[in-house]
Chains A and B, each alone.
Chain A
Amino acid sequence: MDFILSLKEIVKIYGKGESKVVALNKVSLDICKGDCISVMGPSGSGKSTLLNIIGCMDTPTSGQYILKGRDVSKLKRRNFSQIRNRDVSFVFQNFALLNNYSVYHNVELPLCHRRMSRSQKKEIIMHYLDKLGIANLANKRPTEISGGQQQRVAIARALASDADIILADEPTGSLDQKTGQEIMELLTNINSEGKTIVIVTHDKNVASYCRRNILLVDGKIVEDNISKNCSETNVSL
């Protein structure tokens, strides 16, 4: 099986004693390379926690997480930074852009700590800004552009890191319906180029863009229209 990541019996517990909250309860999940997955569920069902664990933004209480053949659960924090820089990238609901930096410098963030020349960085950044149709906004600040444009900047930043997996937490949550559709079409195009995309959403319309839909309730997967094997996923690209 050509899984890009596998979660086995992942448990995440917040707090201790009586205030203990089980966010994920023995969640097991295999994701194929090039897949497009939506994770749905009511508030507090553990969707964002699952996404954060996949993105190495949080660590599970127990369980095993294998990313691109490496057991991430055994890695040190320092390696988590490298994974966030090279293997996974995020698109957030509120865009998570730095308002005191230009669009160009926001897209540059994942490249800041890589050994490459300024001209190489510029080439990559301008390529993705151009691809997403926002090259003319390179010198503007996030506060000077619309929500849809800000989300495009966030997607350009995610693409600039050249990560195989893009994790999107409610990517259309702060956008109107039309702009939301544009963003989803953009993410679908990116997926068709071979990137694996995991989207957390409340919106069934957003989920309808994905080939695989997972329903999470009370920290457990209760519904998953998984393909029989990864080759089916790849064929459908």
Chain B
Amino acid sequence: MAEILSVDYELFGSLLPNTFLEGGMPDGSFFESDGFKPVILGYGYKHAFDIGDTFISDNEIFKCRVVGILDKGSKWFSANYGLSDEIVNIDNFIIVLTNQPDTYIGATFEGTVLANNYLISKEPFDSELESKIGEVAKKYGISVGIYTFNEFFANTRGNLIEQYYLMLFSILFLSVIAVFGLSSLIVYGINISKREIGIRMACGAETKHIMRIFCSEIFIIIILAFFTSCIMANSKRLINFLMLSMKDINIWVYAAVLVISLVVCVVSCIFPIRRITKLEPKELTGGE
């Protein structure tokens, strides 16, 4: 099943500076020719089609002709709700150009063009388009939202700020819970390692050395949890990355998570380790 991006040709040609490996953007007259929609292929299809090739979708809704093949690493806006602020790689996308002022992403070839419930209208808001969309939506029994760019971006910006604070609160809340959880784990670890701590202290280990031992043990657990959750949450992106060399993974997000994990690890160790190392070594070894 191919990934389809259906987008207004003027938008696609003007919003992001994507370049072509072969072919190029069609002009408006193309849409009045022979009923074939112009399609641009992502870099991943460069060996599958040539310029001028035609193909028809399974349900025969689309009749397409290849007009261009994009350079590697081309980008477009992600998510299923139109123009989001996240940019994704479209190397494995088929971009179906329309002369309608709309864009949506993620519809499948077997599905309908109204797989997504958002259409983005150009400014000024086109009332004719609204009624046209309403008719189509009624036909398919789908509720369709129509936004102007300004409305859409205003909503998106507002949502983003809300999401930002919500995410910040979630991070803090989860970090505090993680600190308590890991501290309990360390207290348990300390109780079964009292003798070892005592012997190490008798041999000259300082608080920071004991701290280092426990931190490294906890950090191994955190790293394992981190990689497991990354694999589970990003399996599709990971497959794209490994099989199609698509680099739509934001490294900074993962770096931030790692840094937060490290801080959580150290903070969770400080209190129990400081408490235990205040005892004399002979108390820890049980007078051994």
Contacts and interface: CB of A to CB of B under 8 A. Distances in A.
B99 interface: no
Interface string A105-118: 00001101100000
A146 B285 CA distance: 21
Given A58-B280, A98-B199, A109-B199, A81 B288 contact: no
A58 B199 contact: no
A98 B197 CA distance: 10
Contact of A90 (B202, B205, B206, B287): B202
A109 B288 contact: no
A151 interface: no
For chain B, the bracket of interface size reads 10 to 19
Interface string A184-216: 000000000000000000000000000000000
Contact of B202 (A82, A84, A86, A113): A84
Given A112-B209, A113-B209, A96 B280 contact: no
A97 B198 CA distance: 11
Interface of B: 196, 199-207, 209, 280-282, 285, 287-288
B204 A81 contact: yes
Contact of B288 (A92, A113, A157): A92
A109 B203 contact: yes
A96 B288 contact: yes
A59 B279 CA distance: 11
B202 A78 contact: no
Contacts of A98: 196, 199
A161 B203 contact: yes
- Going nearest first, the 3 A-B pairs with the smallest beta carbon separation are A85-B204, A109-B203, A81-B206
Given A84-B203, A92-B285, A96-B285, 5 more contacts: A48-B287, A58-B280, A82-B204, A84-B201, A92-B288
Contacts of B209: 112-113
Given A58-B280, A58-B282, A96 B204 contact: no
Contacts of B201: 81, 84
Interface string A96-136: 11100000000001101100000000000000000000000
A52 interface: yes
A48 B288 CA distance: 10
Contacts of A97: 199
10 contacts: A55-B202, A58-B280, A58-B282, A81-B206, A90-B202, A96-B202, A113-B204, A113-B205, A113-B206, A113-B209
Interface in A144-164: 157, 161
Nearest to B285: A96
A88 B148 CA distance: 79
A57 interface: yes
A192 B254 CA distance: 60
A113 B213 CA distance: 12
Contacts of B280: 52, 57-59
A27 to B, nearest CB: 18
A113 B204 CA distance: 8
A94 interface: yes
Contacts of A157: 203
B213 to A, nearest CB: 9
B281 A109 contact: no
B201 to A, nearest CB: 7
A97 B285 CA distance: 11
Contact of B204 (A48, A58, A161): A161
Nearest to A84: B204
B196 A86 contact: no
A157 B202 CA distance: 11
Contacts of A83: 204
Contacts of A57: 202, 280-282
Contacts of B202: 55, 57, 84, 90, 96
Nearest to A114: B204
Nearest to A55: B202
Nearest to A92: B288
Contacts of B196: 98
Nearest to B280: A58
B162 to A, nearest CB: 48
A192 B210 CA distance: 35
Contact of B205 (A55, A94, A96, A112): A112
A110 B199 contact: no
Contacts of A92: 285, 288
Contacts of B281: 57, 84
Contacts of A89: 203
A81 B207 CA distance: 9
B192 to A, nearest CB: 11
Nearest to B278: A77
Given A81-B206, A96-B288, A109 B282 contact: no
